[in-house]
Structure 1
Amino acid sequence: MKDITKKLEQHVHQCVEFLSKASVLDLETKVNPEKWSKKEILGHLIDSGINNLQRFTEIEFSSKPYKVVSYSQDDLVRVNDYQSADIMELVAFWKAINIRIKIIMEKQTSDTLAYPILLGNEEVKDLEFLMKDYVEHLEHHLHQIIKE
């Protein structure tokens, strides 16, 4: 897990630095009305962080295998109106969630990382997979924010 938490920490630092210097126009521009702006992608990462923090902690006291419940990504981005939110509020919230997630990840043992997880497609994985997948998902979207 050390590699994963180190990656998470580096990504958070890199993204916070980028967003603190980015123009509002760049962050709010939509290439297509059906696609999210960079600001909305950050909002989606907030929702992902909230949902995964809940998963990473609930698994500790839930029956096994822990069932991953999906969430309505597009609806959450729309209802939270991330496009109109203050960027620094979003950055601070996203950073705080990921600091907490990193702390939870660091507390895991080989036993807890092996907790079985039942994904939406009925595939069984473990907590370690779910935590690694969270960081990979974050990387994918950070690439959209920073590189595009």
Structure 2
Amino acid sequence: MQDSILKFEQLVNENASSIPKMSKEALEFKPLGKWSKKEILGHLTDSAIHNLVRFTEIHYLEKPYHHRPYNQIDLVNLNQYQQMDIEQLTQLWFSVNKQIMRIMESVDEKALEYKIILSDSSVIELKFLMTDYVEHLEHHINQIKS
């Protein structure tokens, strides 16, 4: 888990300063049928918000925890990330992820084994959800940087 936390911290800290330095054209260019780099960052913000709720709720709601999916495309459109100031968007993404880092750093070994039931009825543990969150973040950061 510690390796995931270190990777997570590095991804967030490095990219919070580098993303706003990208050109407006690069950030807002939308390939046909795909998200712009700004919208990808917006998607990562939505993911952070939803996962922050999951990573905290699991500690006080009835076990096993039931994972609730969300509509990623609708959220990116409704939140109008394409029109949002990149500094403001980056700060929002950064702040929510800093809080997730605090949660990850303080979670105990027993809690990492909490069971989570996904919408397809498969079962995972909190540790998997947290490490998968970091992998998801890295995947999309690589898309933004490419």
- With normalisation by structure 1, the TM-score equals 0.96
Q: Which runs of 4 or more aligned residues in structure 1 lie more than 2 Å from their structure 2 counterparts after TM superposition?
A: none
Partner of 1:59: 58
Deviation at 1:118, TM superposition (A): 0.6
Q: Partner of 1:16 in structure 2? A: 16
- State the one-letter code of the partner of 2:138: E
**Hey, what's the Cα distance between the residues in 2 that align with 1:20 and 1:30?**
17
SS at match of 1:61: coil
Q: 5+ residue gaps in structure 2?
A: none
Provide the C-alpha distance between the structure 2 equivalents of 1:101 and 1:9, rounded to a whole number of angstroms: 10
Q: CA deviation at 1:31?
A: 1.5
Q: Which amino acid aligns with 2:40?
A: I
- Using the TM superposition, give the Cα deviation of residue 20 of structure 1 relative to its aligned residue in structure 2, in angstroms: 2.6
Equivalent position amino acid for 1:23 in 2: S
SS of 2:124 mapped into structure 1: strand
Q: Which runs of 5+ in 1 are unaligned?
A: none
Matches of 1:137 and 1:121, distance apart in 2: 19
Map of 1:98 onto structure 2: 97
Q: Provide, for residues 79-126 of structure 1, a one-character-per-residue CA deviation record: whole Å limited to 9, x for no partner.
A: 000000000000000000110000000111110000001112211111
Q: Who is 2:141 aligned against?
A: 142
Identity across matched positions, percent: 49
Distance of 1:76 and 1:38 partners within structure 2: 15
Q: RMSD value over aligned CA atoms?
A: 0.8
Deviation at 1:18, TM superposition (A): 2.1
